[in-house]
A and B are shown apart, each in its own frame.
Chain A
Amino acid sequence: MATFSIHGSDEPVHQARKHSADILVDDKLISVLPISLQSFSVKQSQHPIKIYAVVHGDSVYVQLHGRATRIDRVDPTRANAGANLNGGGISLAPMPGVVVSWLALPGSLVKTGTPLLVIESMKLQMTIEATLDGMLEELPFAEGQTFQRGASLARVCPDSPNGAAV
């Protein structure tokens, strides 16, 4: 089974038989006959319709009755995952180390991915980024201070629904 998104709604599509282009949509059999690389004859009940399809990246553009429709393949592992784990705005130290520099000041507004501080551990420098949009509340460790693995390195307070920081 594959899921396709058309005009924002998800449609599960099944292949009807192995080694055939025929498909099942809502338990209805649609027979598909390739005519050329980019055109197909599609038949549901009696009437065959000719359609053209062009693949571009993950999208397929289908032309039917003179109108083009974009169809996107839905990635099932992503579509079914819950909300992203963003740790509620707290960035934890992936390894023990020392703070090299602050890149943002507490009190400033940040967006997901805004670099907050640089840490160094075992010869390697890493940039810690904001995990959500909001206000940077606290950078608990000053430049030059050491920390253990799992320590909270930054805390971002999420935006309230109306967009302003609370």
Chain B
Amino acid sequence: MSRIISKVDTESTAYRKNFADMSERVKTLRQRLNQARYERPQRDIDRLKKSKKLTVRERLDLLLDPGTPFLELSALAANKAYGGDVHGAGQVSGIGIINGREVIIHADDPSIKGGAWYPLSVKKIIRTLDIAIENRLPVIHLCDSAGGFLPLQADLFPDRYTAGRIFRNQCTLSKLGVPQIAVVLGHCTAGGAYIPALSDYSVIVRGNGGVFLGGPPLVKAATGEVVSAEALGGAQMHTTVSGTCDYAADNEPHAMALARDILAQTTPVLKQRIDRIEPEPPHYDPQELYGIIPSDWKIGFDMREVIARIVDGSHFHEYQPDYGTTMVCGFARIWGCKVGILANNGVLFNDSSLKAAHFMRLCDRDRTPLVFLQNITGYMVGREYEERGITKDGAKMIMTQVGCSVPKFTVIVGGSFGAGNYGMCGRAFDGRFLWMWPQSQIAVMGAEQAANTLADVKIRQLQREGQQLSEEDIEAIRQPVLDSFQAESDAYYSSSELWDDGILDPLDTRNALGMAIIASLNAPFGDPGYGVLRL
């Protein structure tokens, strides 16, 4: 492997402007993360204190090994939904370390709407458990939820990927032999009651913890029976009479200590073996990423400069350096793990698509995980390229990518448009993790293109009816499309809807990928096998 030779001029005006702009974006990101994590109305904090509860962040501090990283996922979920104050969709999700082992956390945040589940909360919990299934990560559930948010029940209850899926995923995890520990810190009512019941182990806090299919008000309405929450489903009852919970804890710190000790009794899995050596930091300063990424996503840049600031020692063995040059493929190491990197240096042509497909098969055969760095406006269009079979070559790339059984990881560094998103392992393609950078964009096409296309359609439709559109009429069609596309292409919108696992400060990309790659090795890789390529 050779070290990438950087051509970045850190003195240039473009670099300085980019650097200032990205610094500003990262500052905004940090503020929004801080708000989502910590800023709560005083009355909500007081209410927790009064009921002798800790905040969800204090709970994590007690649960996880001190000084170890916590890779939080989808921290900005629901940031553009429900009026913007259901921070993180009322859930905390992330990969942390307990007794030196990776676990994934699903925690209700009782300081937000009493921990109620909104539709996006359910989506986030399902995603958390999907990650647990795909990477065989033990799950710690910190249960403290008021239950489903009833006014939106139609969006969170009945469908395939709504609340029932949480419990289906719990059963799947158990079948795969992945341990789950539930800690009941508040009331688990109705569906929520199944979380501890479907976990392998459960801890319940005396006084605050409660598990019941119907809470006291529902019981009274249904049968007229008057019963206290503690008698109906408290710690004493469940650990001595019903056996629904296994351990009674005297307080929250006691519950976290019990959860840690329970995990220590389960047998750790052996990680999948891959080519892995001692890690080495990048030779080039990752901070320079701020100056490399243009403020305007329409301006291209050399993705090798990004690779040079993410991988070990900035070493990169480039595959087919002179063929299909809009697709940069090559081998590198992240945290010592050998990976195959696919990165966009322009639109995908026939040759770049074939190169990508061939490279992915090489990596898959050698059991080398794949990292996709997206900055893709799509596959090339036009008569010449259709005649050369751009669609079937793109299909080869997609078919091969889906066939790969090694873990895949995606970072949307710039644009992610149209079928380019598919070929480069977008959300629908079962990558283990997907992150976005703060200025990145995602949509079926660019806002301008969409607005022009829709205006064109309308003009032709009216022409057939013998009508003419004035400039103002055209603008009146264009502008709303432009506005809605721009709003919905934004990384924050994507994160709000859980189209990704979070927005990353470019500086954190290496560590996020490193932690994710090593976590992914808990699951054995499947056997390679591919669909039929249209040759």
A163 within 8 A of B: no
In the assembled complex, the Cα of A125 lies from the Cα of B298 at a distance in Å of 6
Asked whether, in the complex, the Cβ of B2 is within 8 Å of the Cβ of A125, the reply is: no
Residues of A near B417 (CB, < 8 A) are 123
Within 355-381 of B, Cβ neighbours of A (below 8 Å) are at 377-378, 380-381
Contact B2 A94 (CB under 8 A): no
- List of A residues within 8 angstroms of B381 by Cβ: 122
Cβ contact within 8 Å between B2 and A122: no
Given contacts A58-B3, A125-B299, A126-B300, contact A95 B283 (CB under 8 A): no
Name the residue in A120, A124, A125, A149 with the highest tally of chain B Cβ atoms < 10 Å from its Cβ.
A124
**Chief secondary structure at chain A's binding surface:** loop
Contacts of B448 on A, CB cut-off 8 Å?
123
Number of interface residues of B (CB under 8 A): 23
Q: For the complex, what is the distance from the CA of A120 to the CA of B296, rounded to whole Å?
A: 13
Nearest CB on A from B116, distance (A):
41
Consensus secondary structure, chain B interface:
loop
Q: Is the CB of A124 within 8 A of B298?
A: yes
Contacts of A95 in B (CB 8 A): 326, 346-347, 349, 380
A123 and B298 contact, CB distance less than 8 A? yes
Chain A 62-82 interface 0/1 with B at a Cβ cutoff of 8 Å (1 = within): 000000000000010110000
Task: Kindly state whether residue A106 has any CB partner on chain B within 8 Å.
Answer: no
On whether A126 and B346 interact (CB within 8 A), knowing A75-B2, A77-B2, A78-B2, the answer reads yes
The reply to whether B2 and A124 contact each other, CB–CB distance below 8 Å, is: no
Q: A94-B325, A95-B349 are in contact. Are A123 and B2 (CB under 8 A)?
A: no
Q: Is the CB of A122 within 8 A of B300?
A: no
CA distance A95 to B415 in the complex (A): 18
Residues 39 to 94 of chain A near chain B (Cβ within 8 Å):
57-58, 75, 77-78, 85, 94
Number of A-B contacts (CB under 8 A): 49
Of the candidates A77, A120, A123, A126, the one having the most CB atoms from chain B within 10 angstroms of its own CB is A123
A124–B449 Cα distance when bound, in Å, is 13
- Distance (whole angstroms) from the CB of B297 to the closest CB of chain A: 9
> Do the beta carbons of B299 and A122 come within 8 Å of each other?
no
* Residue among B3, B300, B378, B382 with the highest chain A CB neighbour number at 10 A: B300
The answer to whether A124 touches B7, judged by C-beta atoms less than 8 angstroms apart, is no
With A and B bound together, what is the CA distance between A50 and B102 in angstroms?
45
**Is B3 a contact of A75 with CB atoms below 8 Å?**
yes
What chain B residues lie within 8 Å of A123 (beta carbons)? Answer: 298, 377-378, 415, 417, 446, 448-449
Contact with A along B1-42 (1 / 0, CB 8 A): 011000100000000000000000000000000000000000
**Bound: A125/B215 CA distance, A:** 60
B3/A124 in contact, CB under 8 A:
no
Shortest Cβ distance from A126 into B: residue: B300
Q: How far is the CB of B123 from chain A (nearest CB, A)?
A: 30
**Is A5's CB within 8 Å of the partner chain B?**
no
Q: In the complex, A79→B298 CA distance in Å?
A: 36
Q: How far is the CA of A95 from the CA of B350 in the complex (A)?
A: 12
Q: How far is the CB of A23 from chain B (nearest CB, A)?
A: 21
**Cβ contacts under 8 Å, A75 to chain B:** 2-3
CB-CB contacts below 8 Å: A74-133 with B: 75, 77-78, 85, 94-96, 113, 120-127
Residues of A within 8 A of B347 (CB): 95, 121-122, 124
Mask: chain A, 126-153; 1 = CB below 8 Å from B; 0 = not:
1100000000000000000000010000
User: Restricting to B417-458, which residues have a CB under 8 Å from any CB of A?
Assistant: 417, 446, 448-449
0/1 interface trace, chain B 264-299, chain A, CB 8 Å (1 if under): 000000000000000000010000000000000011
Q: How far is the CA of A32 from the CA of B349 in the complex (A)?
A: 53
The CA of A152 and the CA of B1, in the complex, are separated in Å by: 32
**Across the interface, do A124 and B380 meet the contact criterion of CB distance under 8 Å?**
no
Residues on B with C-beta less than 8 A from A78 are 2
Residues of A within 8 A of B3 (CB): 58, 75
- A113 to B415 Cα, complex, angstroms: 25
- Whether B298 and A122, one on each chain, are in contact in the complex, defined by CB atoms closer than 8 angstroms, is no
9 more contacts with CB within 8 A, not counting A58-B3, A96-B380, are A75-B2, A85-B322, A95-B380, A96-B382, A122-B378, A123-B298, A123-B415, A123-B446, A125-B298
- 4 tightest Cβ-Cβ pairs between the two chains A and B: A126-B300, A122-B347, A123-B377, A122-B377
A-B contact pairs, 12 of them (CB 8 A): A57-B283, A78-B2, A85-B322, A94-B346, A95-B380, A122-B347, A123-B417, A124-B346, A124-B347, A124-B415, A125-B298, A126-B300
